[in-house]
Chain A
């Protein structure tokens, strides 16, 4: 499946790497403080993300089980889930010849 674009792909001032070189000890301290904060934020984000991933996987397992039990009830029915791509936005008309 193609990678889905999200807001994370939008470059912001935070995600654009800084270019200025530290000039003195105070600037280095500030830089360290900023990086420590960012590391903390990212660690928290990873933790949240892992928890969310766990919840999603759990829900997907439940859905799979439900689908399996429904398939056993009606074996001849097949349902395909597809992601709509821009190309599929055509208005299609079937023509029999």
Chain B
């Protein structure tokens, strides 16, 4: 069956300024080696560790069109393989002999392949992002795909119930650690069929390169922002561990408002507090005190990692109270 009009595939492309440091290159080569050996790759790591971007980069290097699925708690098997959506009505009126009228009519359910089936059939690269957010039983269909290279489909499907997986089919999975909110435990059988690469936060060099590339701030500012965020992460100041995303948010705002990363610059300090001191809303007195302690700790880290003696900084704005 040819893909329907609604079936779209993704062609991945690194954005301008995509950073490939030796750290990223090493991870990519490892993943590609497992793919070449015929094993699905599972990238597991905390939020902001670059799992999805790395998966897309590996898909780009594989060179086949990509099919993206995002894990969801509401998913069932039919959301992966397909299902019956709508009906097809057929009516034949035969009046070839004018004295004879023959009519024939039937209504059949219409089967529509979903993304996993299309990827298996056409040999695409499947990126199943955050697959542990789907319930484990929804992913059962992947077991035979990854091991026996056969996709088992419902018997009511038009055509064969067994689909031989295309030799070019590659699966890349990403997931958060199991202690994250909204994440299910991975099935042992499924985990056993894939090679898991545990990712941590990027190294400093990569974080600086990403921050500078995404925002356009000077290298010195990018280094100061990254050092500050890494210090916050190490000290456990923020409620959630800040990632390279926090670095790029701060850097982009600085670039937009033409400010520098230095203690005493109001824009910088305010942005750092907004981005790094965010927490679940606490209105109690204790909550407010904790929030004030967090803000003070961040300001202290700013003074430590981003001293005011940066080139070209004119502190013209009043410091925050």
Contacts and interface: CB of A to CB of B under 8 A. Distances in A.
Nearest to B18: A97
Nearest to A91: B8
A94 B65 CA distance: 10
Nearest to B57: A97
A50 B246 CA distance: 71
Contact of B53 (A89, A91, A92, A97): A97
A61 B66 CA distance: 40
Contact of A89 (B3, B12, B14, B52): B3
Interface in A19-44: none
A94 B13 contact: yes
A93 B6 CA distance: 12
Main DSSP-derived SS at the A contact region: strand
A97 B12 CA distance: 7
Contacts, number: 47
A93 B10 contact: yes
B66 A95 contact: yes
Nearest to A90: B9
B8 A93 contact: yes
A96 B3 contact: no
B56 interface: yes
Interface in A54-96: 86-87, 89-96
Given A94-B11, A96-B12, 20 more contacts: A90-B8, A91-B5, A92-B8, A92-B9, A92-B11, A93-B9, A93-B10, A93-B11, A94-B10, A94-B12, A95-B11, A95-B56, A95-B68, A96-B13, A96-B15, A97-B12, A97-B15, A97-B18, A97-B52, A97-B56
Interface of A: 86-87, 89-97
Interface of B: 2-3, 5, 7-15, 18, 52-53, 56-57, 60, 65-66, 68, 122
6 tightest A-B CB contacts, nearest first: A96-B15, A97-B56, A91-B8, A95-B10, A90-B9, A97-B53
